[in-house]
Chain A
Amino acid sequence: AQKITQTQPGMFVQEKEAVTLDCTYDTSDQSYGLFWYKQPSSGEMIFLIYQGSYDEQNATEGRYSLNFQKARKSANLVISASQLGDSAMYFCAMRVFNAGGTSYGKLTFGQGTILTVHP
């Protein structure tokens, strides 16, 4: 079974500063993908960034980067130059790709971290 742990229920950051949201995962599978989603108060889940377990480079998407440390089983999200609109709930998630192909794309989610950006 897979497990995702986000140990920070809430985080605060000053506008224009960088912030790191922690995510650790547990799986015995070798092939998997890690996702980060943003959920504003309106409720929709917005995809931010994806990292595959065999990707050699850390993923980046604009102001978002994923600090992937495979040996430590961590996949922290780094948001640079925070903006007021970044205030939201953030979820880390994992999808396992097994040889039998039976995962069908199921995502396992962490508990989430609420980020508040102060002006």
Chain B
Amino acid sequence: DVKVTQSSRYLVKRTGEKVFLECVQDMDHENMFWYRQDPGLGLRLIYFSYDVKMKEKGDIPEGYSVSREKKERFSLILESASTNQTSMYLCASSRTATEAFFGQGTRLTVV
């Protein structure tokens, strides 16, 4: 089975902190994605990557950056966390057009 693992289920961070959310997949997928989920808004794409060191902005990239130094790992970085970044963050990966596998999600609270 494909496994997408996010490093934390729950995180509490202070305003202004630099926050790293890590995602690792074990199936050699080229494409990896970071979404945030908010009530009533569904999932919105923050950033995605289609190869090592390649990244593209999604629909809501402001306040975030990403890093993909190895194929299996895709990191989301909150440069200076703010309370409006309190949300559920979901990582996903895929290789073919008909699939997308998600991690278990990270519930981030910024206080």
- Known contacts A43-B107, A93-B100; 9 further A-B pairs (Cβ under 8 A): A9-B40, A45-B92, A47-B99, A95-B100, A104-B56, A106-B58, A107-B45, A107-B100, A111-B42
Interface of B toward A, CB cutoff 8 Å = 9, 31, 33, 35, 40-45, 48, 50, 56, 58, 88, 90, 92, 94, 97-105, 107
Contact B40 A104 (CB under 8 A): no
Q: Which residues of A contact B35 (CB under 8 A)?
A: 109
B103, chain A: closest CB distance, angstroms: 8
Q: Chain B binding site: helix, strand, loop or mixed by DSSP?
A: strand
Contact check, B98 vs A52: say whether CB atoms are below 8 A apart: yes
Q: What is A's interface to B at a CB cutoff of 8 Å?
A: 4, 6, 9, 33, 35, 37, 42-45, 47, 50, 52, 91, 93, 95, 97, 104-112
Set A47, A106, A108: member contacting B101, Cβ < 8 A:
A47
B98 A50 Cβ-Cβ under 8 A: yes
CA distance A97 to B50 in the complex (A): 15
